[in-house]
């Protein structure tokens, strides 16, 4: 494996726990449609394929596309109006991003969340400055696991896929990495429903502190390893 020179992060379920805000917006839509609302645990099972797939799964695959379009428009409006009130960063997220930035590792976001929402959330959580490239969903753009997503991000970073690490929480992230030729790490604190050891990631880690140690190892950077080791919390 080549030494890692850049890192791409997924957003939801990897750096942030956004399900409470997603659930709040989605449940407003479901209530407006006269449908039963979902628990946050139920919504977490729907996250990962982008906003439209989320709405389709919530409404049911037999729902007419015109109804899906209407509910999707409402969902995005509700979510954009209040995107981070209940969202939190996972432990060590900001510290890890800061360590990587301080060691001059180019960073990117690749998410299936709509591009506008992605920028809005990064700005509201004061995360935008960490990332040189942000890839989000837009009409006509591919979504993960399509290899075109990570390939484009790598090109924008100026680093080959083999030298770019993907850090995510789901099979969608790992499938995209494998299709592109990027090594990958999956964190266990996210929303994936499948057994993590079946996804094909190069490493499975409990959280972002451990991800930092693995990144340092793959970079062959002892200085970064010393810094990321301080992220670990006592048991």
CATH number for the domain including 26? Answer: 1.10.150
Are both 99 and 36 inside the same structural domain?
no
Are both 136 and 182 inside the same structural domain?
yes
Helix pair 65-81, 19-32: axis angle to 10 deg: 130
Q: CB within 8 A of 21, min separation 6: which ones? A: 79, 82, 83, 84, 85, 86, 87
Are both 43 and 11 inside the same structural domain?
no
Structural domains in the chain (count)? 2
Examine residue 235 and state whether it is found in any structural domain, yes or no: no
Are both 74 and 124 inside the same structural domain?
no
pLDDT value at 11 more than 80: yes
Please tell me the distance from the alpha carbon of residue 84 to that of residue 107, in angstroms, as a whole number: 22
172 token code pair: 């969608």
Percent of the chain with pLDDT over 90: 89
Examine residue 1 and state whether it is found in any structural domain, yes or no: no
* DSSP character at residue 3: P
Q: CB within 8 A of 166, min separation 6: which ones? A: 7, 8, 10, 110, 150, 173, 174, 176, 177, 180, 182, 183, 184, 185
Q: How many C-beta atoms lie closer than 10 Å to residue 41's C-beta? A: 10
Are both 101 and 185 inside the same structural domain?
yes
109 token code pair: 């976001």
What is the sign of the dihedral through the CA atoms of 163, 135, 12 and 126?
positive
Catalytic residue (one of 10, 21, 169, 173): 10
Average pLDDT of the chain is 93
The whole-number average pLDDT for the span 168-188 is 98
10 is catalytic: yes
Are both 157 and 207 inside the same structural domain?
yes
Instruction: Specify the 3-state DSSP secondary structure of 7.
Output: strand
Examine residue 133 and state whether it is found in any structural domain, yes or no: yes
Q: What is the pLDDT of residue 225?
A: 53
Residue-wise pLDDT tens digits, 27-45: 999 999 999 999 999 999 9
Examine residue 234 and state whether it is found in any structural domain, yes or no: no
* Domain containing residue 37: 19-81
Of 60, 81, 102, the domain-final residue? 81
Cβ-in-10-Å burial (0-12, 13-18, 19+) of 53 comes to middle
Are both 65 and 140 inside the same structural domain?
no
Q: Are 149 and 142 in contact (CB under 8 A)?
A: yes
Are both 65 and 99 inside the same structural domain?
no
Q: Are 182 and 161 in contact (CB under 8 A)?
A: yes
16 token code pair: 């942030």
Are both 121 and 23 inside the same structural domain?
no
Examine residue 100 and state whether it is found in any structural domain, yes or no: yes
Of 81, 110, 128, the domain-final residue? 81
Are both 95 and 140 inside the same structural domain?
yes
pLDDT value at 234 more than 50: no
CATH number, domain of 144, equals: 3.40.50.1000
Please tell me the distance from the alpha carbon of residue 41 to that of residue 77, in angstroms, as a whole number: 22
Are both 69 and 55 inside the same structural domain?
yes
Residue-wise pLDDT tens digits, 99-133: 999 999 999 999 999 999 999 999 999 999 999 99
Are both 25 and 13 inside the same structural domain?
no
Structural element, H or E, at residue 37? none
Work out the pLDDT band at 76, boundaries 50, 70, 90. Answer: very high
pLDDT value at 73 more than 90: yes
pLDDT value at 198 more than 60: yes
Q: What is the pLDDT of residue 235?
A: 36
Q: What is the pLDDT of residue 119?
A: 98
């Amino acid at each position: 494996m080549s030494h890692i020179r850049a890192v791409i992060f997924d957003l939801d379920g990897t750096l942030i726990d956004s399900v409470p805000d997603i659930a709040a917006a989605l449940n407003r839509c479901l209530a407006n449609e006269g449908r039963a609302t979902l628990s946050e645990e139920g919504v977490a099972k729907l996250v990962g394929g982008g906003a439209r797939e989320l709405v389709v799964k919530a409404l049911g695959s037999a729902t007419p596309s015109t109804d899906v379009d209407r509910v999707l428009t409402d969902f995005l409006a509700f979510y954009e109006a209040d995107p981070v009130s209940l969202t939190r960063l996972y432990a060590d997220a900001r510290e890890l991003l800061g360590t990587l930035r301080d060691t001059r590792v180019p960073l990117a976001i690749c998410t299936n969340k709509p591009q506008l929402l992605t920028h809005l959330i990064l700005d509201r959580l004061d995360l935008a400055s960490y990332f040189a490239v942000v890839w989000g969903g837009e009409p006509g753009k591919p979504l993960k696991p399509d290899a075109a997503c990570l390939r484009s991000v790598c090109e924008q970073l100026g680093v080959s896929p083999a030298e770019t690490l993907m850090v995510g929480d789901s099979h969608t992230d790992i499938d995209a990495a494998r299709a592109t030729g990027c090594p990958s790490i999956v964190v266990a604190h996210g929303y994936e429903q499948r057994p993590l050891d079946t996804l094909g990631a190069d490493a499975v880690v409990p959280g972002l502190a451990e991800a930092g140690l693995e990144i340092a190892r793959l970079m062959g950077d002892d200085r970064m390893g010393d810094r990321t080791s301080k992220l670990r919390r006592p048991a």
